A and B are shown apart, each in its own frame.
Chain A
Amino acid sequence: MEAFTTHTGRAVPLRRSNVDTDQIIPAHWLKKVTRDGFEDGLFEAWRKDSEFVLNRPERQGATVLVAGPDFGTGSSREHAVWALQNYGFKTVISSRFADIFRGNSLKNGLLTVVLPQETVDALWELTEADPTAEVTVDLEARKVLAAGIDADFELDENARWRLLNGLDDISLTLQNEADIAAYETARPSFKPRTITA
């Protein structure tokens, strides 16, 4: 996983709540067996409308998505995170994320930042009025900065440490091999097995 320390970029204000993962990447894209090439599927249905914010010329190359509450609800598809990343987003800001989506994003180095809705409103107003306005998400300082905006955000220390260092969960867990083996030995024998060894 790529480490995330700080990022500055232009923003896409997405004034919609409850953006579910079926909107982020529709199911027919899920037939692919790779982690890349999902950029054209991102918000596919909405992008058919030339006025959709992502299609606006002034939003090309933007890397910060500022979305409404309950972003990423619905299916567990990690493809939603890959699609956002493949498209070029480095971070998503919202007042509330669905749990599975949030977990998936942090595991892939897409920083999801939770800010109060008032701050999201302020970011929307700023970036709608001035599409060239830059937004900085600083994970070291846990701050979001933009013209007239200086907001602190929370992220649990462990997730932050893994992101800052780009650490992969599996290698970290495998360091606890002895604990896993001890647990396995003590498991009750009545627990089911899918195959008999």
Chain B
Amino acid sequence: MGRTLAEKVWDDHVVRRAEGEPDLLFIDLHLLHEVTSPQAFDGLRQNGRQVRRLDLTLATEDHNTPTLDIDKPIADPVSRAQLETLRKNCAEFGVRLHPLGDVEQGVVHVVGPQLGLTQPGMTVVCGDSHTSTHGAFGGLAFGIGTSQVEHVLATQTLPMARPKTMAITVDGELPADVTAKDLILAVIAKIGTGGGQGYVLEYRGSAIEKLSMEGRMTICNMSIEAGARAGMIAPDETTFAYLKGRPHAPEGEDWDAAVAYWKTLRTDEDAVFDAEVVIEAAELAPFVTWGTNPGQGAPLSANVPDPASYEDPSERLAAEKALEYMGLTAGQPLRDIKVDTVFVGSCTNGRIEDLRNAASLLEGRKVADGVRMLVVPGSVRVALQAVEEGLDKVFKEAGAEWRHAGCSMCLGMNPDQLAPGERSASTSNRNFEGRQGKGGRTHLVSPQVAAATAVLGHLASPADLSDAVTTAGV
């Protein structure tokens, strides 16, 4: 019987297999950041261990870094101490680090792919659940806990139980204004925040094949919000073209050998998935969340749902609690929801294409009065590219704040936070209670919806912008 993509990559990394034990997998790339690594380095020190493969390890600073005044010392002493701890640990053990101020610094899941370190058929891990992003290149990439970070540092392997596989097939054409973000929000709303649990998701079908690498990363990034540790997309010419010429991409004969191998990384025709979900691209629409988990979402044209409409009592209770926290009433049109803040950035939508999409809608328009818009590029390289294309000017002229690269308001570990009761439209991936600041209320949206929302002051799609212009012209 044939094998799925996930099974092929898995099999290629088994170091040791024994009856009744998890497989021991080799890890091709280990990414580190300041938040989940200090206790792991401590563990190494306590046991007198070294980092086994410095050449497969890379660290960057992202979660705590400020997005303003980056040349000054970090004001928050605790954030500063955590970054200093990473610097000390990397220096002591010899790990390559891109600190704040370095041209390769940025959100860990933006940095790996842009350096060409993330390639098809690899196993990639990081102490961060959005490591699933890297699966967009056709590898197995998953978030791990700090004990596992220490395990990989010491052994370059991980004992793992073989996951089940789920195919998510999306065929057809995405309608205008429907992006990868809308697609993945719709998938999560359909299968639920626990629907992918225990599975590796493989996104396939003609709508997925037409996506850019940026779009594919957005999709795989949010696999974890459906409960899956990993999401993946088979590599193809789009993948190869993205990688060609990147700093760590193979060259010459190595490139040919790599591509020959990468081309074998497809699910066999006769392979069987443990579960399958089918979605029609043509039926999708711009999608936003109304609740406090990423599965609580609906098309922008819908109304806030009535908790009473849920049959499952725990879902009903969750919806009631969510509406209370979010300050929404059942039946209210989603389009009427006014926001204070718009955040464009994060490892979900902080790449160059995302910034281009948001900027194209802001060109010649203004951010609505009383709305603050923060644009935070995913990495310094993304920022430089945006400046080269003049996108920073577009944002600034529209009245948005153009910031330095990092995680920023995605989780509010730095000063970029929502105040209690404030409401945001955010291109990030989590709308959990307090995620963007204590008492803050988050609606997850695509970069296009974020830009339209910034201009109109309420949740809106790009189509609403042209309607607004027409009305104004009459």
Residues of A within 8 A of B (CB): 15-18, 20, 22-23, 26-28, 30-35, 45, 68-70, 73-79, 81, 96, 98-100, 103-104, 107-108, 156-158, 169-170, 172-174, 176, 179-180, 183-184, 187-197
Contact = CB atoms under 8 A, between A and B. Distances in A.
Nearest to B257: A190
A167 to B, nearest CB: 12
In the A-B complex, the 8 residue pairs with the smallest Cβ-Cβ separation, listed nearest first, are A104-B145, A33-B38, A78-B145, A76-B143, A190-B254, A78-B146, A193-B55, A76-B129
A45 B36 contact: no
Given A73-B193, A75-B129, A179-B15, A173 B55 contact: no
A31 B82 CA distance: 6
Nearest to A26: B434
Given A27-B413, A69-B314, A188-B261, A195 B55 contact: yes
A68 B258 contact: no
B39 interface: yes
Give the interface centre of A15, A34, A184 by most chain B CB atoms within 10 Å. A184
Would you call the interface of chain A mostly helix, strand, loop, or mixed?
A: loop
Given A69-B314, A73-B194, A170-B151, A22 B47 contact: no
- The interface size bin for chain B is 35 or more
Given A98-B197, A173-B155, A45 B293 contact: no
A132 B56 CA distance: 52
B363 to A, nearest CB: 34
Contacts of B24: 173, 176, 179-180
A73 B38 contact: no
27 contacts: A16-B317, A16-B318, A17-B318, A23-B432, A23-B433, A26-B434, A27-B413, A30-B63, A31-B35, A34-B42, A68-B314, A73-B193, A75-B129, A78-B36, A96-B197, A103-B145, A104-B145, A170-B151, A180-B15, A180-B157, A184-B156, A188-B257, A193-B56, A194-B54, A194-B96, A194-B248, A195-B96
B79 interface: yes
Interface in B107-148: 116-117, 119, 122, 127-129, 143-148
A173 B159 contact: yes
A73 B227 contact: yes
A169 B15 contact: no
Given A17-B317, A107-B148, A74 B413 contact: no
Contacts of A180: 15, 24, 26, 155-157
Given A69-B314, A96-B194, A196-B55, A28 B430 contact: no
A46 to B, nearest CB: 9
B254 A100 contact: no
Nearest to A173: B155
Interface string B216-231: 0000000010010100
B129 A100 contact: yes
Nearest to B64: A31
B161 A156 contact: yes
B85 A197 contact: no
Interface string B59-93: 00001100000000000101101100100000000
Contacts of A23: 432-434
A192 B248 contact: yes
Contact of A187 (B26, B82, B318): B26
Given A70-B193, A158-B20, A103 B148 contact: yes
B21 interface: yes
Given A31-B64, A74-B432, 16 more contacts: A18-B193, A18-B293, A34-B42, A70-B194, A75-B430, A77-B35, A77-B36, A103-B144, A157-B20, A158-B22, A170-B155, A180-B26, A188-B257, A190-B261, A191-B122, A193-B248
A180 B413 CA distance: 38
Contacts of B119: 191-192
B258 A190 contact: yes
Contact of B412 (A27, A75, A157, A158): A27
Contacts of A176: 15-16, 24
A99 B432 contact: no
B147 A108 contact: yes
Contacts of A188: 257-258, 261
Contact of B127 (A16, A76, A108): A76
B184 interface: no
Nearest to A30: B35
B404 interface: no
A107 B248 CA distance: 34
A26 B433 CA distance: 10
A174 to B, nearest CB: 6
B438 interface: yes
A68 B255 CA distance: 50
Contact of A190 (B117, B161, B255): B255
B347 interface: no
Interface in B247-270: 248-250, 254-255, 257-258, 261
Contacts of B116: 192
Interface string B393-417: 0000000000000000001110000
A191 B26 CA distance: 13
Contacts of A108: 147
Give the interface centre of B49, B58, B96, B434 by most chain A CB atoms within 10 Å. B434
A170 B144 contact: no
Interface in B1-52: 15-16, 20-22, 24, 26, 28-29, 35-36, 38-39, 42, 47, 49
B36 to A, nearest CB: 7
Nearest to A183: B15
Contacts of A173: 24, 151, 154-155, 157, 159
B198 interface: yes
Contacts of B85: 33
B150 interface: yes
Contacts of B144: 76, 100, 103
